[in-house]
Amino acid sequence: MSKKRGQRLWSQKQPKPEWERLEGVKEGLLREFATNGVSLVEFVVAFSEPFYYWVWLGVSTDQERDACQQDATVDGRVRRVVAEHDMAELCDGLTIESQETVDRDYEGSWFYRLR
């Protein structure tokens, strides 16, 4: 068997996260939290099945982050949007972070912050 064919077969058999549904979740969360200053939604997804994931909401300032963290409705709103896309059972949690903190503490890199 050629290396190319072997790679193709291997990639076809491997389970993958539901990226299309997560994209729908992302769009829904951006709409839901636009008035809270959320301009970024990221997911940290487990490497293996069942592909649990963590939701990250990004805002511009520490003040916006703190306001979202103190808002008792945020968790329920996230869970509602996630449930609308049949992804609730895999959602493990939520983090809210600001670009201000990422710039200050993580050299401006969301990659470093998400790790």
Q: 90-100, pLDDT tens digit by residue? A: 999 999 999 99
> How sure is the predictor about 104, in pLDDT bands with cuts at 50, 70 and 90?
very high
Task: Note the pLDDT of residue 12.
Answer: 60
Query: How high does pLDDT run on average in the chain?
Result: 91
Decide if 78 contacts 41 (C-beta within 8 A).
no
The residue ranking higher by pLDDT, 16 or 45, is: 45
CA–CA distance, 51 with 34 (Å, rounded to integer): 27
Exposure letters 14-23 (e unless 16+ CB within 10 A, then b): eeebbeeebe
CA–CA distance, 99 with 104 (Å, rounded to integer): 8
